[in-house]
Chain A
Amino acid sequence: DQQVKQNSPSLSVQEGRISILNCDYTNSMFDYFLWYKKYPAEGPTFLISISSIKDKNEDGRFTVFLNKSAKHLSLHIVPSQPGDSAVYFCAASVGTYKYIFGTGTRLKVLA
């Protein structure tokens, strides 16, 4: 049973526009959510996180939104740049050591 789902395997966006990556989860006990960026043959790099007591967190071009009632998480990248082209993973944890990852969304930013 996939507790964290990324239903869009891929997304293409024009440079300078907004990229929106989505993530749904099923476990209402998750209290910490993260987004990672990954290039091929490299480890994931942490981008941004959000605690379940918040509904929004910003860091430069990256904003994460959390809708607890819908069990939905999204990452907005504005403006999108070609260097943002990568696979993005969302992850969730329930306050301990178990981090559950989604299957990833491949973002392609077109120049």
Chain B
Amino acid sequence: DGGITQSPKYLFRKEGQNVTLSCEQNLNHDAMYWYRQDPGQGLRLIYYSQIVNDFQKGDIAEGYSVSREKKESFPLTVTSAQKNPTAFYLCASNPQGGHSPLHFGNGTRLTVT
């Protein structure tokens, strides 16, 4: 079964710690994305990557970092510089951007206390 796997489903961290969220896809898609969902705010783009070893900032990239060393993997690190890290994080992919739907994983709920 092809799809996007995000792990873990729930993650708890203390304030001041960096944390990395995993995203793996076996759809052979070139483009991958990270979104954040907060109540009443829809989905906001954090980072996206069109191809291996390349990525661009989205609308709310501050306090986050990513890497794209393999086509299948696009991990997101939430750093201690992110002021409001508690949120639902969604990873997505599509074949090559533009005029093709995003396929989403089931998300990771991060809680920072």
Seen from chain A, the residues whose Cβ lies within 8 Å of a Cβ on chain B are: 4, 6, 9, 31-32, 34, 36, 41-46, 49, 51, 89, 91, 93, 95-104
Contact = CB atoms under 8 A, between A and B. Distances in A.
Contact of B90 (A4, A44, A51, A98): A44
Contacts, number: 67
A4 B42 CA distance: 10
Interface of B: 4, 6, 9, 31, 33, 35, 40-45, 48, 50, 56, 58, 88, 90, 92, 97-99, 101-107, 109
Give chain B's interface secondary structure class.
strand
Contacts of A104: 42
Contact of B102 (A4, A41, A51, A99): A99
A91 to B, nearest CB: 8
7 contacts: A9-B40, A34-B101, A43-B106, A89-B43, A91-B43, A95-B99, A98-B58
